[in-house]
Structure 1
Amino acid sequence: MIFSKRSLLFVDNANKPQGFHTKRTPRAGGLGIFLVFLVGGGAHWGLLLGGVVVFLSGFLEDLNRPLSPQKRLFLQSLGALFAISLTPLILKDFAPFFSLPVILALPFSVFMLVGVANAINIIDGFNGLAGGLSLAILGILYWIEPNTWVLALLLGVLGFLVLNFPKGYIFLGDGGAYLLGLVCGAHLMDLALRGVVSVWFGLALMVYPVTEVLFSIARRKLQKQKATLPDALHLHTLLFKALTSKYPNPNAFTGFSIVVLNLPFMLASYFWRNHPHWLLVVIALFVGVYLSFYQYLNRKECPCA
């Protein structure tokens, strides 16, 4: 039975490098969002098919049936390929800077969508972080172009946050995080292709999780480690360690703080959503702030570094 005690998505990661929870916590939060995704009725069948594949690539992990990183990446790429080629959502024109031929635009679009899915997953775990950020992204998307399906997903995430923040009674799980990343990324690509926003708006709006995943890959490569190797050196984990002795619930405060710190950049992205040069300024400014804050926290954690 899918909801047995063993298979119902309990996370107990206190002994993992990135672990900071001492209680077994269900990872079924993404299942509810997945059901909203299926019955919402507002997605193209290509995105629905892609979403199912991407969700399953993480949901198997939530069911304690983990896939190897290679198999998981293959499924995510396949799901993204379905969503991009069948919907279609192939980004070719990165105005005003460059454009890509279709032979390059298709794999690059798949790469971007897989990257966004993993970016949301990498920040999941702290109460309110992935859910709060996804709620803000979906809220801005609905603000730009009201859509009943986006509204349904937004309400689904809000329902999840009631249980996730601040006490952390439930997590998104890998399946839910991957799905939210895919849906947000695909909707941003659709808006850009229809000329509603600049193609750079998506990167600016989701600059925090994207920066986190790219910086983590680069950091691990420089340290001669596998890019998929988990660790406790993300910005959010360093902030959590810095707050542990100062607040009664540092987990929730970490998630809340990072979401709040991201809001000015997200609102600036919305304000300049049709101005690529200003969007690049927002991106560059965020990356500079991120790296400075990361260096500060890293030195505080390890003064000898």
Structure 2
Amino acid sequence: MILAVILALLSLYAAYSLADRLTDPNSKWHVLDHPNDRSLHQNPTPRSGGLGILAALLIAWPLWFWLQTPPEGAWAVAIGLALAAGISWLDDLHTLSSAVRFPVHLAASGLVVFAGGFYFPVLQIPGVGDVALGAFAPIFALLTIGWMLNLYNFMDGMDGFAGGMGAWGFGFLALFGWHQGHLFFAGSALIIAAANLGFLRVNFPPAKIFMGDVGSVPMGFLAGCFMLWGARDGVFPFWIGIVIFSPFILDATITLARRLLDGQKVWQAHRAHFYQQLVRMGWSHKRTVLAEYLLMAGVGGVAFLLHLSDNEGLRAAGWMALCGLYIVLMIAIHVAGRRRGVSWRG
């Protein structure tokens, strides 16, 4: 694991150095994100920071794969990541239609699921028990990667937010891998967490650069892959991954459902996410993102503690308590927003 820590530090330094260079207007990779009425930022800001994260992974991951023995299907994740990153960079440059992006996303996800074998036969649900997925298992895995890939992109709308989720989320995945003795999984996740942490040095409010689609889509892709990988190899049950990334999963999913039920065009840009409502109510980016970090750390810590317990009743109670916490938080944001004249419709 010492080797993984060394490579993680290399990844952190590389991501910071490269992302910082990308803030230079003279860089040929300098792509500006111009604010509009749906943005939370006010000044044109480069959105190519994800290239720094990917470059860090390109440096550290091959060394990790070479010095360790990759498990089944690891190569599929690497190739799928390249596909997701490539189409996302083109999207940052030229704003591609979903008809162009979707087939590539599907190909990347399908490669991981069918060629890499990243799916599992039984879904464990706290308080319910084991649910056999049967022939639906690969479809469930495809939907997982597809949704994580998209929701991460939806949630990359505030300084320090997606990078923070990457640092906390993959950091906890690394902890689970280390605790369960799956060192390749742990080291791989730790390198990703470190790359996100290095990027945060220039993305924390006030951000000098954004992650962009070239960063958010690959990070969502990797989050989905690692959730499936951990469940497949017995590092943790799938619901643990849901809890770890729940600050993103619930905000994006519930916001999409509300907009669908309200008859809105869900593919259009908006400011209806809960974190966006907080900023529109007057919270600073820094205050909002620090509150989100506290939530990320809290749910990750709860997930680890619940996983340590063999008491199914305690796990179910913890799962229900987290659901209750999120309901309270969402209602509180909605009520506070109404008092300040901030509509959830964006």
Please report the TM-score for the alignment, with normalisation by the length of structure 2: 0.78
Which of 99, 104, 107 pairs up with 1:78? 107
Partner of residue 10, structure 2: none
Which of 104, 107, 118 pairs up with 2:150? 118
d(CA) in 2 for partners of 1:170, 1:25: 6
d(CA) in 2 for partners of 1:81, 1:139: 26
Partner of residue 9, structure 1: 31
Partner of residue 32, structure 1: 52
Structure 1 position 58 matched with structure 2 position 91? no
SS at match of 2:307: coil
Q: Which runs of 5+ in 1 are unaligned?
A: 245-249
Structure 1 position 21 matched with structure 2 position 50? no
Give 1:11 deviation, angstroms: 0.5
Which of 302, 306, 328 pairs up with 1:268? 302
d(CA) in 1 for partners of 2:133, 2:343: 45
Deviations 1:159-197 (A, max 9, x none): 100001122001111121111111122112111111121
SS at match of 1:272: helix
d(CA) in 2 for partners of 1:283, 1:84: 29
SS at match of 1:98: strand
Structure 1 position 94 matched with structure 2 position 123? yes
Work out whether residues 168 and 296 of structure 2, in 8 Å CA contact, stay in contact via their aligned partners in 1.
no
Give 1:27 deviation, angstroms: 1.2
Partner of residue 223, structure 1: 262
Bigger Rg over Cα: 2
The alpha-carbon distance between structure 1 residues 101 and 151, as it changes in their structure 2 partners (threshold 3 A), is same
- Please give the residue correspondences for 1:151-166 in structure 2 after superposition, counting only pairs within 5 Å: 151-166=190-205
Deviations 1:240-294 (A, max 9, x none): 01225xxxxx122222222213322221112113656356325522431343133
Give 1:5 deviation, angstroms: 7.0
Give 1:151 deviation, angstroms: 2.4
Partner of residue 247, structure 1: none
Give 1:35 deviation, angstroms: 2.0
Considering fraction of residues, name the structure with more helix.
Answer: 2
How many residues are aligned here?
295
Please report the TM-score for the alignment, with normalisation by the length of structure 1: 0.88
Give 1:144 deviation, angstroms: 1.7
Partner of residue 242, structure 2: 203
d(CA) in 1 for partners of 2:307, 2:89: 33
Give 1:88's aligned amino acid: G
Give 1:74's aligned amino acid: P
Q: Which runs of 5+ in 2 are unaligned?
A: 1-21, 179-185
Structure 1 position 190 matched with structure 2 position 229? yes
Work out whether residues 268 and 282 of structure 1, in 8 Å CA contact, stay in contact via their aligned partners in 2.
no
Give 1:28 deviation, angstroms: 1.6
- Please give the residue correspondences for 1:226-265 in structure 2 after superposition, counting only pairs within 5 Å: 226-244=265-283, 250-265=284-299
After alignment, is 34-43 or 123-132 more displaced?
A: 34-43
Give 1:53's aligned amino acid: L
d(CA) in 2 for partners of 1:54, 1:132: 21
Moved over 4 A (4+): 2-7
Give 1:237 deviation, angstroms: 0.9
Deviations 1:38-84 (A, max 9, x none): 34134711001111122223222222x11113432332222111122
Taking only aligned residues, the RMSD between alpha carbons, in angstroms, comes to 2.4
Give 1:227 deviation, angstroms: 2.1
Work out whether residues 33 and 156 of structure 1, in 8 Å CA contact, stay in contact via their aligned partners in 2.
yes
Give 1:48's aligned amino acid: A
